[in-house]
Structure 1
Amino acid sequence: MNAQRTMTAAVLVEPGKFEVKQVAIPRIGPNDVLVKVSQIGICGTDIHMFHGRYAADALPLIPGHEFCGTIDAVGSDVTHLSVGTTVVADINIGCGNCYWCRRNEVLNCAEVSQIGIGRDGAFAEYVAVPARLVIPAPAEVAPEVLALTEPVGCVVRAAKKAGIGVGDSVVVLGAGPIGNLHVQMMRLVGAAPIIVFDLSTSRCEAALAAGADVIVTDPAKLKDAVLAATDGVGADFVIESVGNARLYSTAFDLIRKGGHVSFFGITGPQDTVDLPILGTVLHENGLKGSVAAMGEDMYQALKLLTHQRFDVKAFTGAVFPLAEIQEAFESLPKRSNDLKTQLRVS
């Protein structure tokens, strides 16, 4: 029955070009649900895809993975979810049985795919999701807030993977949307001081409003600012949230002896970093990679949003209808003060 119905979807047919058209509503299997999409955010990954810098071999594709909605239909074997329930979803689909899946490291699964990246996603009226990855959400929480669950889950996971805790000094490189969320997450785990670097004055000011203690816009002054804020020893942790190889190199120059670098920003596959091996060994420095929310990260992110632990006002002001998705993407460079752009679907 689903294959005979159609829906409106924004298909990225080639880099730089969306086509909003009628396509078949996705089929669901016995262990899947069909989600009617309410609101969806535009992620940095979506922007990379739009510009042909990521997953270009997957096109044409319906992108979109930061979504919320309501269950429209459930598969024949799904007994724990009901039609009409408000939901968000974990987008990482692994086999569920391998070593990596058991450890909640699903991106390392040999069979992994991601909704909206390797398979059709939620820039559409409906999206199919395995029922085991669907998370019921409070209906009273606004859709524009629920649509932030996935990016908030990403910073939750990064904080946990890095092991950042009370009183740890942290430098966040990049004050864009995800950098701002990193700042807010650092406040929640008790990090201090929180130092933010970005070339954009307005984004640094937004980071200051979000909880940063020190902001820096001049690269030449960054190291001195970090040393001044950390009693001359350097930062316990540096989070690279941009995806710039030069900033990754800078990160190692900002940590203290025994400090750690959190690898978060996605670079090109060819990018490398010159790692100071002897210093890393002798100073017992560390690094930890993290990129996507999985499993419990999503539940924790939803709980934090539900209880208003994140200030989301700066993330919910720019909303376009799905039909205007091309304009939404093309206008992004002119709207640098908008920390997040969302699409309203239903």
Structure 2
Amino acid sequence: MDKNGIVAVLDKPEGKFELKEYRVPDPAPGTILVKQELTGICGTDIHMYHGRLPGITYPICLGHEFVGTIAALGKGVTTDYLGTLVKEGDRVIVTPGVGCGKCYWCLIAKTPTTCEEAFGYGFFSDGDTHYHFTGGFAEYMYCHHPRTAFFKTELPPEVAVLMEPVTVGMHAVIRSNIKLGDTAVIQGSGAVGLATQVLAKLAGAAKVIHVGGPTDYRIKMA
């Protein structure tokens, strides 16, 4: 692609974010390039900023809760993960984690997050073999792996950007096997905690007890 894009690069733990300009790559066959609209700041990003997450290499482009529009489609890409037709300009939500698609965890257990070969957008070192546009804190996101799951959406970006933390809450509700009439206790009132509360009620919980929160307004919201 004959244009440059901006990437916010964190140079080291508790370091500085530097705006760097790189050439935007053309998507390879089976991949897509996304023009970012919004990116959320996850608690994991805070841990990575402070150097508390093992296995992370710096400098790095953070951000794994993002939504944007398709800037370019690689050859062969005509639909999203659910088979919905897509074109340039469509808004999409991208699943940040990608499994190998071949192991027990991916095929049988259906938990690709535990795949030993899994990787996540927003966790790559800047300038590695997957180019520079690897996290949400950038103008573009190059979804370089053909197994990347993305979904077309008509939701406004302010809502769509919350889908990643919402799915974390959904996973918690599913694993808890909440049934009609149950009581659910949720610790924490961040984006995930608030989403879990809503989903627990939808799952049938008669009473939801919310414990703890960094600020009073979140508890009031809960």
Is the shorter-chain TM-score for this pair beyond 0.5, marking a shared fold? yes
- Find 2:120's aligned residue among 89, 114, 133: 114
Output the CA distance in 1 between the equivalents of 2:25 and 2:138: 10
1:260 match: none
8 Å contact 1:55–1:117 — kept in the other structure? Answer: no
2:90 match: 85
2:100 match: 95
2:203 match: 189
Output the CA distance in 1 between the equivalents of 2:23 and 2:117: 25
Q: How does 1:260-299 map to 2 (within 5 A)?
A: none
Output the CA distance in 1 between the equivalents of 2:26 and 2:98: 16
Output the CA distance in 2 between the equivalents of 1:145 and 1:15: 30
2:111 match: 105
What is the Cα deviation at residue 106 of structure 1? Answer: 0.8
Structure 1 or 2, whichever has the larger Rg, is 1
Which range moves more in the overlay, 63-72 or 114-123?
A: 114-123
8 Å contact 1:55–1:118 — kept in the other structure? Answer: no
Please say if 1:206 is aligned against 2:206: no
Aligned length: 203
Output the CA distance in 1 between the equivalents of 2:9 and 2:55: 13
What is the Cα deviation at residue 181 of structure 1? Answer: 1.6
Please tell me the residue identity of whatever aligns with 1:38: E
Encode CA deviations 1:176-235: one digit per residue, 9 max, x unaligned: 22212211111111212111111643332221xxxxxxxxxxxxxxxxxxxxxxxxxxxx
Q: CA-atom RMSD, angstroms?
A: 1.9
Q: 1:24 to 1:62 in 2, by over 3 A?
A: farther
8 Å contact 1:15–1:56 — kept in the other structure? Answer: no
8 Å contact 2:39–2:66 — kept in the other structure? Answer: yes
8 Å contact 2:65–2:164 — kept in the other structure? Answer: yes
1:135 match: 151
Output the CA distance in 1 between the equivalents of 2:140 and 2:54: 22
What is the identity percentage for the equivalent residue pairs of Structure 1 and Structure 2? 38
8 Å contact 2:4–2:22 — kept in the other structure? Answer: yes
Q: How does 1:141-220 map to 2 (within 5 A)?
A: 141-198=155-212, 200-207=215-222
8 Å contact 2:56–2:123 — kept in the other structure? Answer: no
Structure 2 residue matching 1:58: 3-state secondary structure: coil
Mind listing any 5+ residue stretches in structure 1 that lack a counterpart?
Answer: 208-346
Output the CA distance in 1 between the equivalents of 2:195 and 2:201: 10
What is the Cα deviation at residue 28 of structure 1? Answer: 2.6
Q: How does 1:205-244 map to 2 (within 5 A)?
A: 205-207=220-222
Output the CA distance in 2 between the equivalents of 1:61 and 1:124: 11
Encode CA deviations 1:34-59: one digit per residue, 9 max, x unaligned: 00111111111111111111156321
Which range moves more in the overlay, 16-25 or 159-168?
A: 16-25
Structure 2 residue matching 1:185: 3-state secondary structure: helix
Please tell me the residue identity of whatever aligns with 1:125: E
Output the CA distance in 1 between the equivalents of 2:221 and 2:54: 31
TM score, norm. by length of structure 1:
0.55
Output the CA distance in 1 between the equivalents of 2:103 and 2:40: 31
What is the Cα deviation at residue 156 of structure 1? Answer: 1.1
Encode CA deviations 1:299-343: one digit per residue, 9 max, x unaligned: xxxxxxxxxxxxxxxxxxxxxxxxxxxxxxxxxxxxxxxxxxxxx
What is the Cα deviation at residue 121 of structure 1? Answer: 1.1
- Taking CA–CA contacts closer than 8 Å with sequence separation of 6 or more, which of the two structures ends up with the larger relative contact order? 2
1:263 match: none
Output the CA distance in 2 between the equivalents of 1:13 and 1:55: 16
Please say if 1:24 is aligned against 2:23: yes
1:58 match: 57
Which range moves more in the overlay, 9-18 or 198-207?
A: 198-207
Structure whose residues are more often helix by fraction: 1
Output the CA distance in 2 between the equivalents of 1:100 and 1:29: 27
8 Å contact 1:78–1:131 — kept in the other structure? Answer: no
8 Å contact 1:36–1:71 — kept in the other structure? Answer: yes
Q: 1:116 to 1:164 in 2, by over 3 A?
A: same
What is the Cα deviation at residue 77 of structure 1? Answer: 2.3
Output the CA distance in 2 between the equivalents of 1:14 and 1:157: 32
